[in-house]
Amino acid sequence: MITLEDVSKSYDDVLALDRVSIRVARGEIYGLIGPNGAGKTTTIKLLVGLLRPTSGQIRINGFDIQKEGLAAKKELGYIPDEPFLYGRLTPLELLDFKGSLHDMSRDLVDRKREELLDLVGLADFRHELIESFSLGMRQRLAIATALLPSPSIIIVDEPLVGLDPAGMRKVKEIFVGLARSGTTIFVSTHMLHVVEEIADRVGVLNKGKLVAQGSMDELQRSKDERLESIFFRLFSEEVK
């Protein structure tokens, strides 16, 4: 479960987030959408502990991300929009390294790394150097790496960056499958079609404020002119 309670974040005189409150249940896919500059990446960085809120509280499965950071982060798998991967390693070596950071047994790592590389469609590239991978392949490998320790919560920033249509479909299938097995997924994106296809609930962020929450159907039926304007801007960004 993810809980944000009246969370604000300021950078000097700039208010990036303004009293945002969100609650995401176990096994739910929550999509945070908004135009560029709305505060989505700030929200993600707060959730994973890379930034501290100016005010408010964030809990990850009951753990305060600021006061109980280590316990909270053990619950999380984080997939950034530009994943950093060690280019001189192979996928197998990278997953071995990730497993060692989590004190996973050798047998468990061996089993899970094969399963995960097959899941993300990289089994045939297990011995190739990561530096030779395309952006889409790196994104899929980042997903496999995040899933290795079986986190109960996945935090994703722009999950489909660099993916071709087949890769997009695969990643969306992975997230839906994880949610069905009880994993909580928080996705930040400006792509309307992503949340339309996979999200159970959606939050709309604009200029640091959460202006609406609900299912995509509920939001699209709304007569709120602000939402209509935001959706139009998002659609325009998608088709550029």
> pLDDT tens for residues 90-101?
999 999 999 999
Dump pLDDT digits (tens) for 37-81: 889 999 999 999 999 999 999 999 999 999 999 999 999 999 988
- d(Cα 177, Cα 84) in Å, to the nearest integer? 25
Which residue type occupies 73? K
CA distances from 13 to 5, 9, 18, 40 (A): 22, 10, 13, 19
**pTM for the whole thing?**
0.89
Q: Does 136 score more than 70 pLDDT?
A: yes
Mean pLDDT of 191-217: 89
